[in-house]
């Protein structure tokens, strides 16, 4: 199958360096495989969205010549697809309503005091979350860089929320449904998301779809060892320094350009990086 990958940022703020590295890794992997690279805006939670952030992210990517091959998708416009998937899961008894609070679940070691899973009450008064039931599993899945990874799930404790009590669709549901809809067969993302993969694989199985291949690379960290993120105070990328940003991002991916290309025009650095792209190289964090 032809390679189809994507970068899926949340518009909670402008692009920062860690996000640029993530975008570049997915773009390079797609280009090195003569594939298609897409951008999907994960704007599912309007309470966390920063005004104008989605367009600024697209502009920042374009300033670094990371331009999607197809029109960007916005998850805020995808509710019909998410509802269809929820209906499908409910009809297959792969969904149940849950009104338990987080504190109640913590007190009961992740189990439901209202027996939501065993005795689902679809007539209860909202608000309630919609959860995806998983079975006990002790298996593994394969990552292109990390190799064999554990797939361990505990029923009830690891049942995933697919629609939150507030009515917002959860990341687990949206990312799988949209990857299916866009034909994504290669997912390149940070290692901080690797632990979510088992739930995603279960959702693919429940929806009768083939999962993509996964590549999780080490995330960029700040001086305190924290993942570089907006929550950790990461600064917005300065697009006037696109050449230097590209050199730094390639270096973070263990693909430092030769001295002659340091801070060279972005297109020259990217051309070199496509030819040099090697996912078996050790990564810098």
Mean pLDDT of the region 6-12? 95
Residue with the larger pLDDT of the pair 109 and 96: 96
Residue with the larger pLDDT of the pair 48 and 84: 84
Domain presence at residue 34: yes
pLDDT at residue 224 greater than cutoff 60? no
Mean pLDDT of the region 209-237? 75
- What is the separation of C-alpha 45 from the centre of its chain, rounded to a whole number of angstroms? 15
pLDDT at residue 78 greater than cutoff 80? yes
CATH label of the domain that carries residue 28: 3.40.50.620
Q: Say how many domains are in the chain.
A: 1
- Tokens representing 82? 């998410």
pLDDT band at 282 (very low <50, low <70, confident <90, very high): very low
In terms of residue numbers, what domain contains 184? 4-93+169-276
Domain presence at residue 111: no
Compute the radius of gyration of the chain from its Cα atoms.
Answer: 20
CB 197, CB 141: distance < 8 Å = yes
Domain presence at residue 107: no
Mean pLDDT of the region 52-80? 97
pLDDT at 3: 98
pLDDT band at 284 (very low <50, low <70, confident <90, very high): very low
pLDDT band at 285 (very low <50, low <70, confident <90, very high): very low
Domain presence at residue 217: yes
pLDDT at 48: 86
Q: Read out DSSP for 175-221?
A: HHHHHHHTT--EEEEEGGGGGGHHHHHHHHHHTT-PPPEEEEEPPPB
CA separation for the pair 130, 159 (Å, rounded): 10
Residue with the larger pLDDT of the pair 62 and 221: 62
% of the chain at pLDDT higher than 90: 81
pLDDT at residue 134 greater than cutoff 60? yes
* E strand or H helix at 269: helix 266-276
pLDDT at 158: 94
Q: DSSP class of residue 116?
A: T
Domain presence at residue 213: yes
pLDDT at 220: 74
Domain presence at residue 145: no
Mean pLDDT of the region 161-180? 97
Buried b / exposed e along 75-107 (16+ C-beta atoms within 10 A) = bbebeebbeebbeebeeeebbbbbbbeeeebee
pTM (predicted TM-score): 0.92
pLDDT band at 154 (very low <50, low <70, confident <90, very high): very high
């Amino acid at each position: 199958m032809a390679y189809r990958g994507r970068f899926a940022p949340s518009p909670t703020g402008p692009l920062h360096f860690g996000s640029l590295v993530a975008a570049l890794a997915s773009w390079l992997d797609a280009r090195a495989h003569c594939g298609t690279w897409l951008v999907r805006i994960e704007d599912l939670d309007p309470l966390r969205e920063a005004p104008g952030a989605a367009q600024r992210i697209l502009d920042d990517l374009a300033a670094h010549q990371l331009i999607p091959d197809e029109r960007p998708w916005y998850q805020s416009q995808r509710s019909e697809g998410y509802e269809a998937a929820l209906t499908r899961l409910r009809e297959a008894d792969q969904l149940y309503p849950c009104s338990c609070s987080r504190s109640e679940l913590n007190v009961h070691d992740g189990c439901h005091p209202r027996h939501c899973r065993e005795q689902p009450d679809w007539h209860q008064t909202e608000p309630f979350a919609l959860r995806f039931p998983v079975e006990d599993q002790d298996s593994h899945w394969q990552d292109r860089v990390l190799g064999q990874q554990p797939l361990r799930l505990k029923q009830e404790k690891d049942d995933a929320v697919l629609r939150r009590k507030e009515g917002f669709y959860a990341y687990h549901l949206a990312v799988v449904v949209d990857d299916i809809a866009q034909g994504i067969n290669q997912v390149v993302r940070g290692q901080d998301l690797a632990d979510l993969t088992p739930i995603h694989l279960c959702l693919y199985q429940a929806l009768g779809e083939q999962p993509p291949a996964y590549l999780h690379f080490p995330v960029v960290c700040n001086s305190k060892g924290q993942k570089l993120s907006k929550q950790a105070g990461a600064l917005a990328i300065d697009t006037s320094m696109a050449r230097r940003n590209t050199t730094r991002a390639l270096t973070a991916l263990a693909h430092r350009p030769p001295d002659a290309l340091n801070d060279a025009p972005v297109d020259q650095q990217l051309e070199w990086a496509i030819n040099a792209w090697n996912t078996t190289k050790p990564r810098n964090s």
